[in-house]
Amino acid sequence: MLWIGYVGLTALVVCWIPQSIDTIKQGRCPVNLAFLILSSLGSLSLALYAASLGNTVFTVLNCLTTLGTAINIFYKFFPRKSPEGIA
């Protein structure tokens, strides 16, 4: 049954990759801030809880999910400025 946990871990982590890449390319994050904050808080809390239980799958999953939301939150608060003359 452990493999099912790794399949879920992979799917949930991979789903953040396209959004994070788009955010980095655009230099800004169009995702709702409340969603990002709640997602980050939830995944960080679950990472700490999973670590306290010694559950590697959920610890890694939630740490990586927290990282994905952190990238998007960073660009939400600090969008990259567009060069002059580029729309």
Q: Pick the range with the lowest mean pLDDT from 8-17, 59-68, 72-81.
A: 8-17
Q: Tell whether the model's pLDDT for residue 44 goes beyond 90.
A: yes
Q: In the prediction, which pLDDT does 42 show?
A: 92
Q: What is the mean pLDDT of the chain?
A: 88
**CB contact at 8 A, 11 and 61:** no
Six token digits for residue 35: 């969603």
Q: Tell whether the model's pLDDT for residue 86 goes beyond 80.
A: no
pLDDT band at 10 (very low <50, low <70, confident <90, very high): confident
Q: Tell whether the model's pLDDT for residue 85 goes beyond 60.
A: no
What is the number of structural domains in the chain? 1
19 lies in some domain: no
45 lies in some domain: yes
66 lies in some domain: yes
